[in-house]
Amino acid sequence: MREKNEDKKRRSELIKQLLKEYQPKNATELQDMLKDLLGDTLQGMLETEMDDKLGYSKYDYKNKETENSRNGYSKKTVTSNLGDLEINVSRDREGEFEPQVVKKHQNDVSGIDEQIISMYAKGMSTRDIETHLKDVYGVNASSTLISKITDKILPLAREWQSRPLESVYAIVFLDALHCSVRKDGQVVKKAVYIALGITLEGFKEILGMWIGENESSRFWLNVLNEMKNRGTKDILIASVDNLAGFSEAIKAVFPKTEIQKCIIHQIRNSTKYVSYKDIKQFMADLKLVYQAATEAQALDMLDRMDEKWGQKYPSSIKSWRANWNELATFFKYPGELRRIIYTTNSIENFNRQMRKVTKTRSSFPDDESLFKLLYLGMMDVTRKWTGKIYGWCQILDQLAIYFEGRVELND
């Protein structure tokens, strides 16, 4: 209580000093005073950030322990609730300084931009955002203005899409979702190719999102080559669906990668033509195959299925045998790792959240507007990805043995 009273007293004294210095006579002059204070405060925060970056304050050369140094300023005008402010953003000689209080490409510190982008990221249309701002805040913002504000994140999105990747990923999930985009006056379906990686430290991250025509192994080859060009030298295990030519595309770029085809996709494909009256028993028998303790036991169960169902549903059994080498990869791994790789659920869950964001649009005017919304949605979802995969330390120890020489463990 005493501390609160002292804080209140200090604030009261500070306000008195400010009023004495500025002597505002009306609300407009008071706002001008607050505008000056906001500008000076932002300027001071930027200077402090530069001090922290370089490790010494301005003119304090005695404590300088870096080759880097200040290199003047660049003027920048930002919009605030109190009007436009002109600030000077410090530069460093090596171009490494990344201000946080007023970030690169940020021209608004009023908070409205952030609210618009946040609402857009959650799937609200520009019309819905326009109505919300008018009803709740009394702010008139046209759909065109809202589009321009959300366009400001495009440079950041492109920078994210081309950022360097880890040299080795333990697991990479590859899958696509489909969205409608207008092209040459017509609405066409486009595939969004998405790669989700698990690092050697056990963290999930989206490696990239690429917009192309209908899903094909040829486009996946382009995606994999781009990942390699961005720094990825090795992928231990790739979890994929049953797209024709997918495995060949992966092997062409990462020849040592083990491929695990999604069991769930295989089940869907092999039960597609099973009669309704047989499906329950067929699924029960099939479960004995993919839930077997060992690969040998799984093959034995598959033989029994062949004897029971082979004549009635030959193509269903043949598809398991034809894809067996890449369906059975997970059998040699411990249960903790099996549960992660035997299905593409990890990336399908992510795709499901992206569909929630895109479902409010019947179609997108172009690829760029689709990518913008997906990027914002992705940033919103992955903000919660802060923890490691459960039991990762034990999984990594085993991966280091299975992939000897390809996994470096930190001490």
What is the pTM (predicted TM-score) of this model? 0.70
CA dihedral 239, 244, 246, 249 (to 10 degrees): 170
Supply angle C-alpha 311, 315, 319, rounded to 5: 130
Task: Say if CB 69 and CB 46 are below 8 A apart.
Answer: no
Task: Say if CB 277 and CB 247 are below 8 A apart.
Answer: no
Angle between helices 367-382 and 112-121 (to 10 degrees): 100
Residue 109: the pLDDT is: 58
Where would I find the H helices in 204-243?
Answer: 217-229
- Does residue 210 surpass a pLDDT of 70? yes
Residue 3: the pLDDT is: 60
DSSP SS3 for 186: strand
pLDDT-derived band of residue 164, with 50, 70 and 90 as boundaries?
very high
- 345-365: pLDDT as tens digits: 889 999 999 998 888 788 888
Residue 62: the pLDDT is: 65
DSSP SS3 for 192: strand
Task: Say if CB 356 and CB 124 are below 8 A apart.
Answer: no
Strand partners, 298: none
* Residue that the structure tokens 């030959």 belong to: 314
pLDDT-derived band of residue 24, with 50, 70 and 90 as boundaries?
confident
| 339: CB partners within 8 A, 6+ apart | none
Residue 80: the pLDDT is: 64
Task: Say if CB 376 and CB 126 are below 8 A apart.
Answer: no
202-211 mean pLDDT: 96
- Does residue 152 surpass a pLDDT of 60? yes
pLDDT-derived band of residue 322, with 50, 70 and 90 as boundaries?
very high
User: Token digits for 150?
Assistant: 């959300």
- 122-140: pLDDT as tens digits: 666 677 777 766 665 565 6
